[in-house]
Structures are given as C-alpha cells and as structure tokens.
C-alpha cells in the first residue's frame, strides 16, 4: 500500500462556529465544576470562603478550554512584529474571556470588601457582643452531683473501651470497625459517649452497603461499660460512606446554600441514631462573627432531614454549639471588653479561655466547661465558664485559683510512683468548694484512680480508688485544713456485727465487702484505705463510715472502718485493745 493511500488518523472535531465553541466551553467547564463540587462540597454562599475558590476554578477552566478550542487565530499568519501578536492575544481575550474575567475580578473585589468590613479593628464591639456572658453563683447554680452522674472517663479512655468492645463481636469485627469519632451526650439521664461503627475498607463497603451500618457503640461515662447497640435497620448515612450517602455530601445536596459545622452523631431518648449538623452563619460583615443559626437533624437510617431554628431545636439534642466556637466567642468577648486598641496596648481587663475544656451534665443538657485566665497566660485562673451547648447560655463564675494543667500536675505528683497520667479536669461542687475532679489512667488508657484538687489551693489534693472514697478523703482534708466547717462534712455510719465477708481484687487493691447482721447491703472497704479490714472476721463488731445511699443499691462504698471490737473465741484473743485505721480506739 502506497503512502498516499494509508488511512488517516481521526482527529477530535471541535465546533467551528463561535456559538458552538462557546457552548462546548460551557459544557466542559460545567463538568469540571461538577467534579470539583462533588469532591470539595463548597456552600453556594457568598459568606463561604470555599465558594470563591469554586468560582475561581470555573473561571480558570473556562479560559483554558476557550484557548484550546479557539486558539489565538485559526488562519496561518506569520507575525513580523511582536506588537501584532500581542494585539491578537488581547483581541482573543476580549472576545472569548472578558465576561469570565470580569466575573472573577468582581468576586475578588467582593472578597476584599468583605474582609475589610469584617475586620476586628472596625467591628471590635460587635465581636465582643457575639457572646452574652452573665455572672453566676457557684454554690447556687452548680449543685453537688451524685456519684452516678459523675463521668469517670475522658474521651481517649472512652474510645479505647469502645474499640476494645468491637473486638468481642466476631460477626462484626471483620467487616466493621470503631469509628473513633464519639460524641458526649446525656442519654436517659446519664452521661454517655456514642459513636457509629464504620466500614473496615472499600471492599467491606461494597459488600455491606445494602444493609448499612448495623450498630453503634455506647460507652457509659460513669460505669465505664461499653455496649454495641444493634439496630433493626442499618444506618445508610455516615462519614464512612464514600459516595452520595456520605453524610456531608447528602446534606450539601439537600441544602446547597447552607454552611455547616461538622455533623455530630447523637441518639435520641429512644436510641435512634441521628446526625446533628449546626448551620453556620456570619453575623459581622461578610466573613466575620461566626455563629450558629440553627441545626439540621438527619436520620442516620433513612436520610430524612429537618431544619430547626436555634430556638426550636429539640431538647434531647446536646451538641449544637461546639466547644471551639464557644471558646472563640468568649476570647473575642474577653479581648475586646475595653475596645480594640486596649487589647493591644495596656490590655486592661483582657481575659481569654485556657487551653482545654471538658463537659458537665446538668438539667438534662451538656455544658462545656473551660477556665478563664488573664491575657498574660499566667499559672492561675480568674474563674471559669459554663456554656450550654444547645442554647449557648453562658455564665462566668469567679473562682480564682490554679489552672487545669497545674491541678493535673499536682494530682500526678500524688501517684508519681505509679506513673498514672492525669486527664483534663472536670469541675465539681464538693462541700461548696470549686474542685477539680481528675481521673488518673495508666499507659493503656484505663482509669485506675481518681483525684480531687481544690481550685483555690491546688496543694490540697486527695487520691482514691473510687469516686466516693476520693470525695470523702477530700472532704476530711478540707475540714482538717479549716477550709470548711466540721459540721458541713457529711458523716454517715453503720454499726453492727459482721454477718458475712467477701473479698475481691479491684484495680490492684483488695476490697472487702462486709454485710452486717439484719442488713441486706454490703459495705465495700478497700484495704488501702482501712488496713484493719484485713484482720476482721465474722462476728466482729464494727463501725463503717460509708456513702449515703441513693436509691436502691446492694453495695455501698465504705470510706473507712472508724472503730471495731474483736469477738472473743479460741485463737482470736480478747477485744479490748483494737485500734481502727483512722486512729480511733475501739470501744
């Protein structure tokens, strides 16, 4: 076959008419925009910074496409003057890309004006007023929390227990994994952390996506019990879904103009799973004053969503205002309390939040707690904030004292021989005193002990193997140091003859369980707290200081054996010289 008769290679035929080329450029740009939008999910909102990036990508895609389809000039022209070539380039830009360029410049101008109108130097008063802070009375507002409401885990420990619980489920562990994205809520009056499970990998998603995620993990923050809760119908919408059922993508397609904070996983009082997506708005200028206007509640099983204004959000929802947002708004409030220039020069009255936060459950809501310190970031707190995460109701409590990290160091000093690590404190009202409650955990993230540190005097610290033992030792210390009056310290005792004794090793310490004659409850006393418990026998008479019973309970924590009398009998001696662990002589 001759060279002239060889088949010619087919080339992509582009539109030749001007209208056809413009239509082709628009279609290609739209495809590029759809892919970019599908991956990055920007809100179609002038207050969203990602929206400007999205439009910028569209403009660049159109210009490149127009250049490739039209070129500079179709006719074969040999330029003898560089100025002619430059004029030809400008002619091309004017004909094909001028509208796109003007749109791009307009958005740049809008963005610059928005930045200026949102600048703190011009709007310091508005930033200060983002958060309304009222003064609170500590002893009146924060009642003493009962032991069955005090969380004894931090997030890391709770997620460790949740992950370990997944390993006990043989039918799930090969297909699903713990998502390590838990949320602290109040569930049926108890503080818990909940987290959805996730597909183990892409192949597991392909084989299981029809049924969805069959369970979520619930960790009781008080009892430290982790449970995998199976669902009658699997969750179809989650972060581990890679395509349309990804919860962020699902919400973006339903609400294309809404700006969202990260959706939080929660369960209602019936145990049904939901995603709570706070709707973000900018209230100062175009880009400043981040706040929450409401929330979208999305059923994790069906994908049905409903938007609620902030005043109408159901009471079972606990996470609308995130701790990061509340702390940011208070930092504006405390920094600009006396104007913008005072925040830089002089800094009179300037305060900021400390580095860290925790949660307190009160009145069926979750409150975020954080300390407040001066702008100099010294080693002392001026007080602390409590803010309702559903309503943003915020109060400041005047309680000068140590920072959270100073209290953590003090608690670790009490157990330095054991190498326990202090978690971020929880603020409690103990005998009317602001007190840091600090769970202490070992290297495996398991809580082994508890500490209480006085906020005003952080050298006052006690450690116990249980919450009740730690609290009783702390109350005694406050009384001994003259911080509280003796009559303020609750004393609950039980006296009688030992009818039954049992023992068990708990967290490395031997705990003895005593039942007295005529009673059904057992009093648990650690040998580490009362060494005399080791030598007691059935028939001995004892006085046990113990926790106040709250509801029906078969076991009460005993703080100490304050007195005892040995029963007579062969090989047991007379009972006239026994001394209790607390230093009291037995009767």
3-state SS, 301-344, equals CCCCEEEEEHHHCCCCCCCCCCHHHHHHHHHHHHHCCCCCHHHC
Phi, psi of 200, deg, nearest 5? -65, -35
Three-class SS state of 406: helix
pLDDT at res. 550: 53
- Segment 232-254, tens digit of pLDDT: 999 999 999 999 999 999 999 99
Q: In whole numbers, what is the pLDDT of the chain averaged over residues? A: 84
Say what the pLDDT of residue 185 is.
Answer: 93
Least confident of 125-134, 227-236, 524-533, 571-580: 571-580
Tell me, what's the pLDDT at 302?
Answer: 95
Q: How confident is the model at residue 587 (pLDDT cuts 50, 70, 90)?
A: very low
Please compute the mean of the pLDDT values over residues 133-154 and round it to a whole number.
Answer: 81
Question: What's the whole-number mean pLDDT along residues 439-457?
Answer: 90
Res 404 pLDDT > 70:
yes
Rounded to whole angstroms, how far apart are CA atoms 359 and 154?
10
The three-state secondary structure class of 245 is coil
Which of 76-90, 218-232, 419-433, 540-554 is predicted least confidently? 76-90
Q: Lowest mean pLDDT: which of 103-107, 123-127, 421-425? A: 103-107
Write down the pLDDT at residue 164: 87
Dihedral (CA of 252, 253, 256, 258) sign: negative
What is the per-residue pLDDT for 425?
92
Per-residue pLDDT tens over the stretch 267-298:
999 999 999 999 999 999 999 999 999 999 99
Give the tens place of pLDDT for each residue, 510-538.
888 898 988 888 888 888 778 888 888 88
Mean local confidence (pLDDT), 432-442: 91
Predicted pLDDT of residue 573: 35
Which pLDDT score is estimated for 300? Answer: 96
Give the per-residue pLDDT at 171: 72
* pLDDT one-digit tens code per residue, 14-40: 555 677 777 888 899 999 999 999 999
Rounded Cα gap, residues 53 and 485, in angstroms: 64
């Amino acid at each position: 076959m001759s060279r002239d008769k060889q088949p010619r290679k087919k080339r992509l035929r582009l539109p030749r008419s001007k209208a056809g080329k413009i239509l082709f450029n628009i279609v290609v740009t739209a495809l590029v925009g759809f892919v970019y939008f599908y991956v990055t999910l920007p809100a179609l909102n002038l207050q969203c910074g990602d929206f400007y990036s999205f439009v910028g990508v569209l403009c660049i895609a159109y210009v490149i496409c127009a250049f490739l389809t039209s070129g500079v000039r179709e006719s074969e022209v040999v330029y003898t003057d560089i100025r002619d070539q430059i004029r030809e380039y400008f002619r091309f830009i004017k004909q094909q890309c001028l509208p796109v360029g003007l749109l791009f410049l307009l958005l740049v101008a809008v963005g610059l004006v928005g930045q200026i109108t949102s600048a703190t130097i011009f709007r310091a008063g508005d930033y200060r007023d983002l958060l309304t802070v009222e003064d609170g009375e500590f002893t009146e507002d924060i009642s003493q929390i009962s032991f069955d409401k005090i969380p004894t885990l931090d997030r890391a420990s709770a997620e460790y227990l949740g992950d370990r619980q997944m390993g006990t489920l043989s039918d799930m562990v090969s297909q699903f994994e713990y998502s390590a994205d838990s949320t602290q809520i109040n569930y049926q009056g108890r503080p818990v952390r909940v987290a959805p499970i996730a597909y183990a990998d892409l192949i597991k998603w392909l084989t299981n996506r029809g049924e969805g995620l069959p369970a979520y993990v619930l960790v009781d923050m008080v009892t430290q019990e982790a449970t995998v809760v199976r669902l009658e119908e699997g969750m179809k919408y989650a972060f581990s879904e890679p395509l349309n059922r990804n919860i962020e993508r699902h919400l973006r397609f339903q609400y294309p103009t809404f700006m969202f904070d990260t959706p939080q996983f929660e369960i209602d009082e019936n145990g049904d799973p939901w995603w709570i997506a706070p709707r973000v708005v900018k209230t100062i200028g175009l880009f400043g004053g981040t706040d929450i206007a409401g929330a979208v509640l999305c059923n994790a099983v069906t994908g049905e969503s409903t938007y609620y204004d902030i005043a109408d959000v159901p009471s079972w929802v606990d996470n609308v205002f995130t701790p990061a947002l509340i702390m940011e708004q208070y930092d504006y409030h405390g920094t600009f309390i006396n104007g913008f220039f005072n925040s830089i020069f002089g800094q009179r009255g300037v305060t900021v939040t400390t580095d860290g936060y925790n949660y307190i459950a009160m009145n069926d809501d979750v409150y975020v707690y954080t300390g407040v310190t001066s702008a100099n970031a010294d080693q002392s707190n001026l007080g602390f904030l409590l803010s309702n995460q559903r309503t943003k109701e915020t109060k400041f409590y005047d309680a000068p004292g140590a920072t959270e990290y100073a209290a953590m160091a003090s608690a670790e000093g009490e157990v330095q021989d054991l190498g326990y690590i202090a978690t971020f404190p929880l603020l409690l009202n103990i005998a009317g005193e602001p007190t840091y409650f600090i769970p202490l955990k070992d290297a495996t993230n398991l809580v082994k002990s508890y500490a209480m540190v006085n906020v005003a005097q952080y050298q006052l610290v006690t450690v116990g193997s249980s919450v009740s033992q730690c609290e009783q030792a702390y109350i005694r210390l406050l009384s001994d140091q003259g911080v509280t009056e003796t009559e303020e310290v609750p004393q609950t005792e039980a006296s009688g003859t030992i009818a039954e004794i049992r023992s068990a090793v708990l967290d490395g310490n031997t705990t003895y369980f005593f039942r007295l004659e005529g009673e059904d409850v057992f009093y648990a006393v650690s040998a580490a707290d009362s060494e005399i418990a080791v030598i007691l026998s059935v028939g001995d008479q004892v006085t046990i200081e113990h926790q106040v019973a709250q509801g029906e309970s078969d076991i009460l924590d005993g703080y100490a054996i304050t007195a005892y009398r040995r029963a007579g009998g062969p090989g047991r001696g007379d009972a006239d010289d026994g001394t209790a662990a607390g230093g009291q002589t037995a009767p």
